[in-house]
Amino acid sequence: MMKSLADHGLPLVQLKEQRRDLVVALQKRNGPLNGWELMQIAAVQQAISAFEDVIADLDAELEAAA
């Protein structure tokens, strides 16, 4: 289905990979997380959510136009 494959040229996959890399790096570390690390993950997650919303809107527009 096109809806699950189309990313409309947005860097969603790259952001998800960046989030995964940040989380994996933190899992391998001993000790508590600091605020900066949490802010990085939160910012990437917020961007992912925003892109997913935009993609859903674009897909809805395409379906409505069809």
Decide if 48 contacts 16 (C-beta within 8 A). yes
**10 near 55, Cβ under 8 Å?**
yes
What are the pLDDT tens digits along the chain (66 aa)? 344 446 667 788 899 999 999 999 988 888 888 899 899 999 999 999 999 998 899 889 988 988
